[in-house]
Amino acid sequence: MSDAILQVRNVVKRFGGIIAVNNISFDVREGEILGLIGPNGAGKTTLFNCITGIYTPEEGKVYFMGEDITGLPPHKIALKGIARTWQKTRPFKKMTVLEAVTVGVLLRTSNVDKAMREAEEILKFIGFPEEKINALGKDITLMDHKMVDLARAIATKPKLLLLDEVAAGLRPHEMDRLAGILRKINSEKRITMIVVEHVMRFVMGLSERIVVMHEGQKIAEGRPEEIANNPKVIEAYLGTKPV
């Protein structure tokens, strides 16, 4: 596919006897929001770790903007323009919101004053409540922390953003707000996204296309409505504990 920003080709990652990612291939088109779903243990986070350099796949290749990035260390991949958020948020406690986002900006500039102004702009862009930007991490809500995670990720000016269960733990109205923020980042900052998510309403509403993993393998790929009616997908979800 010529307009692909990311190409994953036959990626395999094993842990001892477990094949966590088993011969996965797919493309991400420039500018799209791609959903990546699958039951617990399907291999979604491991695949993100293979794309971002945390793990080197045992087989297969990852191409970013046409360049083979397989096996590069995480900081080199980040510098090329791939950012991520983590499934387990690591909430900061003693820093303020503004300081936490400034740290993200400082990854690509050394001027602290400028970085702080830029951090302020990013927080404003995503609609973070202005009166809370000097609050300490320990005093803000889960939704606030999710927004800070996002702000830190986009502070590095990525071209591709990988989001690992960013909606987990949020209330329905907070999820709707988050979906709106992601759409705005996608359209106005032109950042392509892969969204890993268990909350179907969230991921189906947000994504143009969905890739489904089950036990390490890709079992389906298509538009959300195709995926929702795919018997293989339904079976994969019914065969495991409900999510």
Ligand X SMILES: Nc1ncnc2c1ncn2[C@@H]1O[C@H](COP(=O)(O)OP(=O)(O)OP(=O)(O)O)[C@@H](O)[C@H]1O
Binding stretches for Mg ion (CB under 5 A): 44-45, 87
57 scored as a contact of ligand X (CB under 6 A): no
How many Cα atoms within 13 Å fall on the side-chain side of residue 16?
Answer: 0
For position 40 contacting ligand X by CB under 6 A, the verdict is yes
Q: Which is nearer to ligand X, 20 or 148 (CB)?
A: 20
Q: Which residue number, 85 or 96, has a Cβ lying nearer to ligand X?
A: 85
> x/- string (CB under 6 A) for ligand X, residues 85-104?
--x-----------------
Using an 8 Å Cβ cutoff, are 52 and 84 in contact?
yes
Six-digit token pair at 125? 């862009």
Q: Nearest to residue 204, comparing CAs of 176, 231, 223?
A: 223
- At closest approach, how far in Å is the CB of 94 from ligand X? 28
**Residue 92 in contact with residue 137, Cβ under 8 Å?**
yes
Residue 15's binding partner out of Mg ion, ligand X, none, with CB under 5 to 8 Å set by partner kind:
ligand X
110 binds, among ligand X, Mg ion, none (CB under 5 to 8 A by kind): none
Question: Given the structure tokens 């959300």, which residue do they identify?
Answer: 224
Pairing relation of β-strands 4-15 and 59-64?
antiparallel
Residues that bind ligand X (CB under 6 A): 15, 18, 20, 38, 40-46, 87
